[in-house]
Amino acid sequence: MIKIENLKKSYNGALVLDIEELKVNQGESFGLVGNNGAGKTTLFRLVLDLIKADTGWVQSKNIDVKRTSDWKTYTGSFLDEGFLVDFLSTEEYFNFIAKINSVSKSELDALINLFSDFFGGEILNQKKYIRDFSKGNQKKIGIFAAIMSQPEVLVLDEPFANLDPSSQIRLKQLLKKIQKEKNVCMLISSHDLNHVTEVCERIVVLEKGKMINDIKTSEDTLGELETYFSSEVYS
Ligand SMILES: Nc1ncnc2c1ncn2[C@@H]1O[C@H](COP(=O)(O)OP(=O)(O)OP(=O)(O)O)[C@@H](O)[C@H]1O
């Protein structure tokens, strides 16, 4: 579904991403971990054609994402607050996203219902603009908007960061449900090894822009990752 080859990106002469080959299949939940500055967000920005690579390409369903915008119709993403329209209320924003994705009112209501525990009573009917929500609640709004179109590809950058523990647990349940029922290709980055190993069936470790491990998640994966990251601390 997503294919990457010879993808390189540098800033000011420093190479920050260098991926020879990566394939993520339809229905696969793919987790990306790595220390600060490892290149996780850069990779997602390239997948979403938000920045230009030095070399190489990203294909979605065998088409280079730079060449057409067709992939946008089946791709949902939330990387940061820049994805929101912060001068709208949540209702205005959700209706806007529903309209551009041809999501009917009844579909939107059903999804809102599915996410009501995750929203925790703090997202709808708040009589304020998105810019005035807390960082955690802005994240909830963005994640919901990304999922609303029922995408085949879902890209989320650190979805668990800034969420309270109950919301993290609810989000994990929702992501697992959506992935299982809708066969979504999910790309999720996280600093939380517990969450990412619970949600993703495959984990890639990035170090200084390079993929240094590609693991099929098993009961040993969390321990392996903890060992890797603690050896980074002590090395
Ligand atoms: N616009 C930019 N200009 C210059 N350097 C950049 C730019 N964007 C990213 N970088 C650099 O690229 C490297 C990778 O950054 P990136 O944000 O992809 O890492 P990350 O793994 O997502 O980090 P974090 O876990 O801290 O969010 C870092 O050294 C960062 O400073």
Task: Provide the residue ranges of all domains of the chain, joining segments of one domain with +.
Answer: 2-83+150-234
Q: What span, in angstroms and rounded, lies between the C-alpha atoms of 88 and 9? A: 34
For helices 135-148 and 90-100, the axis angle rounded to 10 degrees is 20
- The answer to whether residue 152 scores a pLDDT higher than 80 is yes
The alpha carbon of 105 and the centre of ligand 1 are apart by a number of angstroms equal to 39
The alpha carbon of 41 and the centre of ligand 1 are apart by a number of angstroms equal to 7
- The answer to whether residue 234 scores a pLDDT higher than 70 is no
Name the E strands within the chain.
2-11, 14-24, 29-33, 55-60, 63-64, 75-78, 153-157, 185-189, 202-207, 210-216
- The pLDDT tens digits for 23-77 are 999 999 999 999 999 999 999 999 999 999 999 999 999 999 999 999 999 999 9
- Is 40's C-beta closer than 6 angstroms to any atom of ligand 1? yes
Assign 182 a pLDDT band (cuts: 50, 70, 90): confident
For atom 31 of ligand 1, the residue with the nearest CA is 37
For atom 24 of ligand 1, the residue with the nearest CA is 36
Q: What span, in angstroms and rounded, lies between the C-alpha atoms of 60 and 71? A: 7
- Is 36's C-beta closer than 6 angstroms to any atom of ligand 1? yes
ipTM: 0.98
- Ligand 1 pocket test: which of 8, 9, 11, 33 has the largest number of ligand atoms within 8 Å of its C-beta? 11
Run of H or E including 223: helix 221-234
pLDDT of residue 235: 53
- The pLDDT tens digits for 77-119 are 999 999 999 999 999 999 999 999 999 999 999 999 999 999 9
- Is 50's C-beta closer than 6 angstroms to any atom of ligand 1? no
The domain over range 2-83+150-234 is classified in CATH as 3.40.50.300 = yes
Assign 5 a pLDDT band (cuts: 50, 70, 90): very high
- The answer to whether residue 199 scores a pLDDT higher than 90 is yes
